[in-house]
Amino acid sequence: MSNGLILGLMAFLFLFLGYMGVPVAFAIMAGVLAATILTPISLASIVGQLFYGIDSEALLAVPFFLLVGELMTSAHVVGRMINLANVMIGHMRGGLAQVVTLFSMFFAGISGSSTADVAVLTRTLAPSMDEEGYDRGFTAALIASASTMANLIPPSIMAVVYGATGNVSIAGLFLGGVVPGVLVGIGLMIYSHFFGPVGRLKPRATLGQLSDAAKASALPLMIPVIIMGGILTGWFTPTEAGMAAVIYILLVAIPFLARQHIRNIPRVFMYTGLLYSIPLITVAAASAFGWMLAYLKGPDVVAAWVEHTAGPDPMLILFLLVGVFIIVGDFVDAVPAIIIFMPIINRLTELGNINAVHMGVCIIVTLAFGLITPPYGITLLMASKFTNVRFSTAMFRSLPLYVVFLATIVFCILFPDVVLWLPKTVLPESVGCFKAPGGAGYICP
């Protein structure tokens, strides 16, 4: 059987079994095992590839970032950050809608998980929005959209997975995600102000109230400083930064802010372990799928098609690849999508001579958009379920918000210098810059 037919069989089994309700990891492995039978590759090699796919020190950052988010959420410390956001912008038109977006930007710097963001917002702010007359479809759509910033603003679990599997600087991806993350946040706030529900207008907070809210939030807001400060100064790797943040929460944040929660810490550890097992088995299966894809020369086939269509033009390559990932993100979770298609991404990055961090940021923003697009749209599904509204209603209300994401994706493609400005300024080595002769500054490609 030809490589093309085997690739088609792998894709068919994955999609068919996925839509039949088979867990993603097993649907992926079904395609890999079918290909193994039809190729000279031994079953032992594929099993070894499963373990090799998760044998990455960088991936250890993921459970620590998940644990940070779970500890902060279960201890109810995030309420202080919500209050700070409310004091800062709660007086604006659509005040609670603005607070949802601003808090998501705060919380994105702590957890790196969109699902954790949805869980927090639906428990804390959604009931208040319901009381103030916001329709639940808008509430679900906004919460789902705002939660995607957790995968853009560092630390981002998507960036960790992308960097670990694609051999790209995780710190560079963290810094590169700041601009699109802020653009999405500003876009959502502009839409909420001009086109969203009015809500209940509140008086502007006094300077004293702002000061009190900032003091109350000081300890939780130190977590992004610890994570990014440690990474950028070279003190920590991403994994060590996650560990340092967990230690800070256990020794400082919880004892000072939620001492009664100390007895629940073992339960949070166990829950986080179970939570991490879900993406871990998917990472293993997707790694084997991506390896088989590379063995069957799938990246060469796609690269040849792209080269025939777009040539070596980096802009056209990015637009074509983003178009593919918009479709992929509608059906596949971001983590397995990144791992499965990484051989193709690397091949096209070389073909177009595209900066690896710029390519990674564009792909991550596109896959973050896939979190709110049907039929997969996991954050939209969660938000609609937790707010007790039909998924179709939430999807309809989220359609105007798609414009914000599409505009951000196009901006990231057209203005790579803006996206890479922060990495080049703070950590030049992360984007391939090297020291000029004599040590006078850096030379960037």
Per the DSSP assignment, residues forming a β-bridge with 442 are 435
Mean pLDDT of the chain: 86
| Cα–Cα distance measured from residue 202 to residue 281, given in angstroms and rounded to the nearest whole number | 48
Two tokens at 335? 């983590």
Mean pLDDT to the nearest integer, 47-61 = 81
163-211 tens-digit pLDDT: 988 889 998 999 999 999 999 999 999 999 998 888 777 888 888 988 9
Q: How many whole angstroms separate alpha carbon 242 and alpha carbon 373? A: 30
Instruction: Examine the pLDDT at 445 and tell me if it is beyond 80.
Output: no
Q: Can you give the pLDDT at residue 355? A: 92
pLDDT tens per residue across span 283-320: 888 888 888 888 888 777 777 777 778 777 889 999 99
The more confident residue out of 302 and 104 is 104
The pLDDT score that the predictor gives to residue 411 is 96
pLDDT value for 299: 75
Is 107 or 399 the better-scoring residue by pLDDT? 399
Closest CA to 372 of 91, 148, 39: 148
**Whether the predicted pLDDT of 43 surpasses 80:** yes
Distance CA 155, CA 228 (A): 8
Q: What is the pTM of this model?
A: 0.86
Residue (of 169, 180, 154, 162) closest to 369 by Cα position:
180
Instruction: State the pLDDT at residue 444.
Output: 67
Measured between alpha carbons, how far is 392 from 390 in angstroms, rounded to an integer?
5
pLDDT value, residue 442 = 65
Is 70 exceeded by the pLDDT of residue 334? Answer: yes
Rounded to an integer, the average pLDDT of 119-128 is: 84
